[in-house]
Structure 1
Amino acid sequence: MEDFDETLYVVWRANLNVLAGSSAGAARIARMMNFSPSFMKLILAGRRDFSEEFVRGVETVTGLPPRWLDERRERRDIPAETRRAMDEELPVAVFRGTAHPAPKRPVLRGPEPLLSQTEATRRIADQALQQTEAHRRDLVFRRNRDLLVTDLRRVERQISMIQLDVINARADDLRASGKLDDPVAADLSGRIEQIEKHRAMLLQHVEKLAALMAGLDDA
């Protein structure tokens, strides 16, 4: 390992476990870092050493502030932007370094422009960042739209399953019994009629809304 405080190394490993949260979270970080999930799990379990280059790479790829992993953290300390990037597996930068604790020239490449870059290069980096954000928003839009259509189709099936024929048959039996007063019988008939009417209207609204959502353009 590089020559650094052994206590800081322990803090890094603990914070990496906090950031992952679970084996699924560890796999997401691994894919964002271009590592195998099994290798990431070995790192989190303390069975593999890692480099400071790797730690800084995790911070940049997940959108964490610089040196965020140097202090003890809890799940609630994770920034919302980092949670979103991990949930959607959209790395903020591309890590092409190594996790192995051997001195090596860092090769972390991200969309953030360096001070020495030309104005044209900075514009290209800004455009890449904007395209990444637009892609993320498109993914969120499509996911929410598809979930809403699924929910509406489920409601449509539930409404269609309402057995009004059975209700009408039971009501006819009650009216034929001669035990209902005229006002009660009239109220019974009127309310069943309203149920049938509003069921049809509700089904129509659900169908139209589902068709509207399904026809939305991704853009």
Structure 2
Amino acid sequence: MDDTGARLLPVWRANLALLTRPVGAATRLARMMTFSSSYMKLILSGQRDFSGEFVRGVEAVTGLPEGWMDVPHYAGDVPPTARESIDNERPRARFRGTAHPVRKPPVLRAEPIFGLSAPARRDEGSADIESHRRMAGVRKIRDLAVQDVRRLERHLSVPPVEPNILRARIEDAIAATDPDGRVCADLMGRVEQIEKHRELLLRHVSKLYELLARLGDE
């Protein structure tokens, strides 16, 4: 996966979770993309990475504007046409690509062989080795932090209880107990705050991942 894809992956995954939040939406979108529902669930849970080609395919199949997936969104930002396309399982295009990320090819760096005396080559080689060791140590520390941020992002993207299910349960409880208007408003207001702050946390985590991924690459 290239550097751009690595930085945008948390945003892509959060927006994908947003699109598949309604019950059964993940399975419907998987069929629209000609993938199995189990593979789509692995992507949503963070157990499988995916490519920019797959993201552009999601936009084309659901009728989203190109580039929509690259920017963090809230629940109300999903266009009605895209929501209707997923709800009714009506793809607006046919996806024939792959979800697998493309690995970066190794970069081979040529080093001068001629024109240097043997002692000079040894000195420069020692300096290069030390520099590589230092950078490897820096990146290892950074990667550990990045892994923790990605774990947090996965938990926020795929909560143990779907927000729409939680809202439905609370609405059922309100209907059964018939509380007064103040209590009812308090309950629903807290549900809305939970959803709002979860989306805000996802945006902060995505930005944190983006900043961490750049550390040590200057």
TM range (shorter): 0.3 to 0.5
TM-score (norm 2): 0.45
TM-score (norm 1): 0.45
Greater Rg over alpha carbons, structure: 1
